Structure 1
């Protein structure tokens, strides 16, 4: 069986972000494969620990992907501040005689954005509205690469490594069965009652504040950040669209700080958040004239750091993107030649400064990998964990399943990912959203 088929059968997806099916990423050829070990979101502590705990598995996984893609270069992008991890990687690469390079990056946000990673490691600029393969690059993250290695041994994806941090007594990182209730995961960090708290699913910048406290862990879950509901970050991230719109119309002073610090603008893309804010403020443009909004990566810098008036450009931008999508309006690139700003190196956002600005300095602590057990009576496994078509159940209520067994798959010829049981138990119920398994 080919590596691509093994990855597909194991249900490997991007372990973070949107959850793009990995078999589709590695099906062609490329010049570069880039291991994204930047872990640029504050307070998340998964990748660096995995690189030390599973060094050989990750390196062998990266080497296998490199061979599959027939690349010229396999490069690990990791921040220079992780010197101890880099030493381990260099030693094992040398001992295993693997053709893998290491690129030491500065400590800035969003170093882990795929397009920023491509520019930092290769000097190539992904075209506007494009993806890394357009410039011969494939970007894979650390846990995904570990899962690729496991797929080579016919092991399916049944767990996710998750950091719980923020305003918690005991920050930690742990391996969690997919489908485990978020509340049980957070309880391991010492918060057993979430009354008065909010939970961010993901990092503080791009993560979303959970509205449903009955949410469960997915393959792409990387962290839960727990903060008091009155914390300024939570207040800003839970502002309504109407509030963001009215504030933007009334208070934007066109200082253009949102544009000057925009990571996509700084690599030469025609994204100018201040112009979008101007158009909204003065009703200057029709919807079809605002298609540059589709170039936004939603990194959150403009809203959570840049704007001196505490406005929300990226939220307004997202509202426009939704309208553009509903009307099937796309951005048409104006050029094929892109040039990064000469000021880019001086406008990259240092993570330490970002942490202080977000009011998270007191919570910037280690979250050590901890071996824990879960006693949840059931897991609820989503059928929508990935980009593409939802998975369709291949089991029925009442079926007894074992950990690693296929329980849902995507229709032939469609983009998506297989889903497997994360525990031993019995299928209790099936909906078009999830499969519930009673543990035991």
Structure 2
């Protein structure tokens, strides 16, 4: 079966980011396949667990990608400090006679940013507003690669591996059916240590913060990579409490134009024309964001990857350039203003290597250093057979939501196709993660065992 068709039918999307449908990445001429094993967000260890315990499966899937795409090479990029993971992968490469090679990265954030990792591995800069395929590369993270292996074995994408850590009794790697309530995942880790808490969906730098109440109603999605329980008094929780009006007023009045946000911006260090301090300066002269959308510096906000280095690590005034950029990206989209790419070669900042943000220091600035050294080896599992009710969002990826192909009240079996990508649209298929009776509830398919 053609590779892209296999991936498409299994419903595989990027497991750790925005959820770009994986089959669409392989439409083009590919020189290098990069498997992202950097897992650069502090605290997250899901990909590390898979590299240690599923190394053979990962290398088999990588070999298949090489054969099917005709790419010139496949590289697994991971941090040099991941010694156990490196040992497991090297043994799998030797035993399988694979041509896959490893690339050892420094421990910095965001080493796993798609455009950053392309430069680290190949020395090529993805053009501003471009994609890795513009320089002959495709990037998938380790969990996505494992999903491809499962598809090779005839199993669609129905289960997720997650890091559950922070203020919990026993941090674990959880393996659960997609659609499992977040609360059930926290129970696998012994439950929260606090009576009142917040939960970060993802990593502490780029993850989405959920209140206790929001977490209790949330369910696992294909893109969820981790759950971090934190105090309501944590620095991450306090930053989220700043109102939009207050954030903008502070940006206008307190920015000292030190330019640290621009000097340390990972995209600016790749040579992209993104200078957050200039954007902050423009805010001081306007009453409303829409007044400055015609400014070229402001339009460069579209290049922001929202990694958070500018506000968590760089800014001495505690301002939030990332959130400003995020707001501007939304306003630019509503105004129909798209970033205008220019032709030419892009060169990284000559000081880039000296300005990389060490992961341990980033964890400290983010207020999660106490959990960074926890080594998680234990896997806890909720099997499809033992699961309770699951709620599967119809929109699991970038693009159009999936369209149900089953009837309300219909009995479905684990692995059965229950929703498809609309014809001619970017999206993904959705499969039942457990067996039971399905019901359509707004933008969810609910399956009760």
**Cα contact 2:194–2:231 (8 A) shared by 1:** no
Structure 1 residue ranges (4+ consecutive) displaced by more than 6 angstroms after TM superposition: none
Partner of 2:256 in structure 1? Answer: 253
Equivalent position to 1:367, from 376, 380, 385: 376
Pairing 1:179–2:192 present:
no
Equivalent position to 2:268, from 260, 265, 268: 265
Partner of 1:327 in structure 2? Answer: 335
Give me the whole-angstrom Cα distance separating, in 2, the residues matched to 1:97 and 1:401.
41
Give me the whole-angstrom Cα distance separating, in 2, the residues matched to 1:78 and 1:88.
12
SS class of match (1:217)? coil
Give the stretch that moved more between structures: 79-88 or 101-110: 79-88
Equivalent position to 1:229, from 229, 232, 239: 232
In the TM superposition, what are the counterparts of 1:81-92 in structure 2 within 5 Å?
A: 81-92=81-92
CA-CA distance at 1:195 after TM superposition: 4.6
**Cα contact 1:30–1:138 (8 A) shared by 2:** yes
Give me the whole-angstrom Cα distance separating, in 2, the residues matched to 1:314 and 1:42.
18
CA-CA distance at 1:188 after TM superposition: 1.8
Give me the whole-angstrom Cα distance separating, in 1, the residues matched to 2:94 and 2:436.
44
Partner of 2:322 in structure 1? Answer: 314
Equivalent position to 1:216, from 215, 219, 229: 219
**What is the count of residue pairs matched by the alignment?**
438
Partner of 1:53 in structure 2? Answer: 53
**Cα contact 1:392–1:409 (8 A) shared by 2:** yes
In the TM superposition, what are the counterparts of 1:143-182 in structure 2 within 5 Å?
A: 143-182=143-182
Over the residues paired in the alignment, what is the CA RMSD in angstroms? 1.5
Give me the whole-angstrom Cα distance separating, in 2, the residues matched to 1:237 and 1:127.
32
Unaligned runs of 5+ in 1: none
Partner of 1:68 in structure 2? Answer: 68
SS class of match (2:128)? coil
CA-CA distance at 1:101 after TM superposition: 1.3
**Cα contact 2:299–2:332 (8 A) shared by 1:** yes
CA-CA distance at 1:192 after TM superposition: 5.5
Unaligned runs of 5+ in 2: none
CA-CA distance at 1:95 after TM superposition: 2.1
CA-CA distance at 1:376 after TM superposition: 5.1
Deviation sequence 1:348-397 (CA, Å, 0-9, x none): 00001111222212112122232333655310011111111100111112
Pairing 1:286–2:295 present:
no
CA-CA distance at 1:300 after TM superposition: 0.5
In the TM superposition, what are the counterparts of 1:389-428 in structure 2 within 5 Å?
A: 389-427=400-438
Deviation sequence 1:87-145 (CA, Å, 0-9, x none): 22122212211111111000000000000000000000000101100110000110111
Q: TM-score, with normalisation over the residues of structure 2?
A: 0.95
Partner of 1:384 in structure 2? Answer: 395
SS class of match (2:90)? helix
CA-CA distance at 1:23 after TM superposition: 1.0
**Cα contact 1:49–1:369 (8 A) shared by 2:** no
